Structure formats: C-alpha cells, structure tokens
Amino acid sequence: MRFFSKKKSAERPTVGLVLGGGGARGFVQVGALKAFYERGIDFDLCVGTSVGSIVGALYCAGLTPDEIARAAEHIELSDLHGRLLIKPDDPRKIGRVVYNLIGDAKIENLKKRYAAVATDLKTGKQVIMDKGSVLDAVSASSAYPIVYAPLEKDGMNLSDGGLTNNIPADVARMLGADKVVTVDAHGSRGSGTDGKGVFDMLKAMFSIMGANASAVGLMQSDIIIAPDTSAFKSTSKDGYKEMMELGYAVATEQCDEIEKLFEPQP
C-alpha cells in the first residue's frame, strides 16, 4: 500500500478533503473514505458540513473507514432525535454520537487539521469552527432547522452549515489547501415539488437552498465525487450498505486523478 500524504514534503501541494451535507446519504462518504484508504490516499486536512462534519471529524481523529462504518451501522434515528416532532430537539444528541467514539476531543488535538461549517441564525452568516469542542462543532454544523434547535454558543445561535455553505471548498482553501477533493453526498439536491402541503414546500425550499449553497464550493473543487444518491433518503438508513458500496465504487474510479494532485508542482 502506498501512502501519498503521510509526510508532506515542501514541494508538493497541500490537498484537502471536503465532505458536504446530505443527511443519511453521508454513508457514501464512508464508502469513499474506504476507497481512499485502500489506495493509500491520505489527505492533509478535512472540512465538513452537516453529516460531512461528522464523518470528517472521525476521519481526522484517526478512525479507519471500517471503524466509522461499524459505528454508523449501529446508529438509529432514535439516537439522534426523539420520535415526536413537537419541538426542535437538542442538537448535542448528534454530537454525542461522535463523543461516544472519540470522547471529549478538541479540534486542535485531532490528528489532521479539521473544521466544520455552521450558520449563525442571528446574522445569517457562516461560522467556521476550527477550534474547541468537536462535539459542539458537529452538533452546530448538523442542526437541521426545525428538527433541531440551534446550538447556543458565544452569543450565536448556530444551525446547519448547509444553509450557507454546503460544499465548503473555499474554507478548505482558507485553511491552506492548494487542491481540493469534494465528496458530494447529495448531488440531486435542488429539485422542486408538485406537492402543495407544508412539508412538501419545506422540503423543496431546503433542497433549493442547499443547491444554491453548494454551487460555489463545487466550482472551487478540483475533483468532485458525486454518486447518484437520488434513490435514497436523507432521513433514512435504508440502503446504507448500498450507499457505502456506491461511494466506494465512484471514488475508486477517480483515485488515479486524485493521486496526481499530490505530485510536486513544477
């Protein structure tokens, strides 16, 4: 097995991994990580939004794709949210899933540089969480509006990063990435609806917003891995093994091109 990033030379580019939002479709990201691992592709940093912040935190903490997959297989919806949508739930329920795997980790102490993107509902602006509690970072970044209450932190009301920056390639470049590989778990976002019910309209609204919040990041990515996940739901684990296999297959097809990103520049 070759490793392309264990020791970063001064000559080669810094290569960052970006993991976008997509709810349960994030299983494709776990499959992609497995493909990278088997090829010895080891990124220098990772930035994630929503489910991508969760997968990215575990990756930067040093868990192998198989370890992440085993943990994900045992997660149930009830672990993340109460069964009744009477009021927004505690977003730290999401963070506790990560806490159970890596403890009360600090971002500064992870094995790779890491950041999660959230949105401050008070200002409407993105917030880059690149220090402090990993639990808080993933909780804020994944706090889907209405389903979860915002995370109150440092005078901000932090909610899902997908509202402002669903594919945070620009953040990866801000953190030092010269090249960016993006795994987009929900490339079919942006579709509308024929329905006129409240939930139909809300679903379409967030889908359209997510597409707009992804456009710039996709343009700023050097390589995009975007499996067709339209057959799966963002709110259900159904088909999670198929999603991991799909992510693995699509990422494997692009590993040759990804390896070239690590080559020294003239």
Q: Indicate which residues carry an active-site annotation.
A: 50, 160
Sign for the pseudo-dihedral over CA of 243, 145, 71, 128 = positive
Report residue 159: phi and psi, to 5°. -135, -175
What is the Cα–Cα distance from 245 to 128, expressed in whole angstroms?
A: 31
Q: Which two tokens stand for residue 124?
A: 């409407």
Sign for the pseudo-dihedral over CA of 96, 232, 84, 146 = positive
Specify whether the CB–CB gap between 116 and 53 falls below 8 A.
yes
Selection from 19, 43, 42, 14 nearest residue 30 by Cα: 19
What is the Cα–Cα distance from 91 to 129, expressed in whole angstroms?
A: 16
What is the Cα–Cα distance from 261 to 237, expressed in whole angstroms?
A: 33
What is the Cα–Cα distance from 33 to 89, expressed in whole angstroms?
A: 30
Residues 6 or more apart whose Cβ sits within 8 Å of residue 162: 20, 21, 49, 50, 119, 144, 209, 210, 213
